[in-house]
Structure 1
Amino acid sequence: MDLFRHRRASSVGLPALVLLIAATGCSPADDNTPTSVPRPGAKATKLCRNLDKSLPREVDGLDREDPEPRSALTAGWGSPAIILRCGVSRPAKMVDPKVADGSDPDAIGGGVNGVGWLMEERDDGSTRFTSAQRLVYVEVTVEPGRDTSSVLVDLAGAIKKAVPEGIAD
């Protein structure tokens, strides 16, 4: 797709565009930070595409607003309240023995509605969850201050439907 084929030079349009960018750049709702798209193998990509088709339109009361760049491997709700990435690498803390015995305060394991999760508190105050015991790792990042339990409840059905239990490669 040629993104520039409709570009036209305009002495009036350019200043208006610069003004619009400057105004929205100062807005607290400007959350267009690019989301890193995972690059899993073909098998995992197929599972992630199936997951994308099963994801709910709303999570924790927020409408789906996918991040940039658009991909079947990423999804979002709110802006940027909740970001899902499918096909991520296994987190190092998932195999760290300090997590398994509960001695790592920044990472905890648990389950919600039949989906196991590793929960990690991040330096920026957000919480990152990575699915466990599924054929592909699904990562969900939730902004600080949001109730994470309803997020995981809302996503559990789609993950159980699209990503079978097992050990990811």
Structure 2
Amino acid sequence: MSLRFARWTGYACALLILAGCSSTVRVDPPTPEGAAAAACRTLGERLPQRLDGVARVETTPASPYVAVWGEAGIALRCGVPRPATMAATDQVPEIDGVAWFSDPARPLLFTSVGREAYVEVTISRQHTPENVLVDLAAPIKAALP
């Protein structure tokens, strides 16, 4: 098991455990720099307050690079590294003008690619990924050239 996969699995488990404990969800924020950091801050300001029927909740530590809806049902991290398993020859589908890489080994994780910063979205099985990704397309296109 790779360190990256183990770390991601730990994040996902922590999200699920903490979701039942309080109204603040713990998510480790990424650390983008330069233009990516500025674009991610802009994205954070444009994200919807409700997504696929659930409200946005507070995260700890507070970060302009993280957003969560429905107490960890949907978690977004902006400024993450390029997906390690993404190959240059991978076919990446577009949803409303945003390309999303989905690693078959991690079916609940989607990463927008081809923009100023990579945006990672984890979507629990209680939500419809297509609905979530469609609703995120406009703010991502506006904030991340």
Question: Shorter-chain TM-score: which interval?
Answer: 0.7 to 0.9
Structure 2 counterpart of 1:85, which letter?
R
29, 32, 42: which is aligned to 2:20? 29
RMSD, matched Cα: 2.3
**Which amino acid counterpart does residue 132 of structure 1 have in structure 2?**
V
**Corresponding residue for residue 83 of structure 2:** 91
| Residue 161 (structure 1) aligned to one of 139, 142, 145 | 142
Q: Please, which runs of 5 or more residues in structure 2 have no aligned partner? A: 1-16
Q: Show structure 1 runs of 4+ deviating over 3 A.
A: none
Contact 1:57 1:63 survives alignment (8 Å) = yes
Aligned residue in 1 for 2:3: none
Matches within 5 A, 1:1-169: 29-30=20-21, 34-95=26-87, 97=89, 100=90, 109-121=92-104, 127-164=108-145
TM-superposed CA distance for 1:40, in Å, is: 1.2
**Alpha-carbon distance change, 61 to 145 in structure 1, aligned in 2, over 3 angstroms:** closer
Measure the CA separation in 1 of the matches of 2:73 and 2:101: 19
Which has the larger share of strand? 2
Q: CA deviation at 1:160?
A: 0.5
For residues 35-59 of structure 1, give each alpha carbon's deviation from its aligned partner in whole angstroms, at most 9, with x where no partner exists.
1111111211110000001101111
**Structure 1 residues 111, 62: CA separation in 2 closer, same or farther (over 3 Å shift)?**
same
Aligned partner letter, 2:133: L
The higher relative CO (CA closer than 8 Å, separation ≥ 6) is in 2
Where does structure 1 lack aligned partners over 5 or more consecutive residues?
A: 1-25, 102-108, 165-169
Taking structure 1 as the reference length, the TM-score comes to 0.68
TM superposition shift of 1:30: 2.1
How many residues align? The count is: 128
**In structure 2, how many angstroms separate the alpha carbons of the residues matched to 1:156 and 1:79?**
21
Assess, with a 3 A threshold, how the Cα gap between structure 1 residues 110 and 70 changes in structure 2: closer, same or farther: same
Return the alpha-carbon distance in structure 2 between the equivalents of residues 130 and 71 of structure 1.
19
Which protein is bigger by CA-based radius of gyration? 1
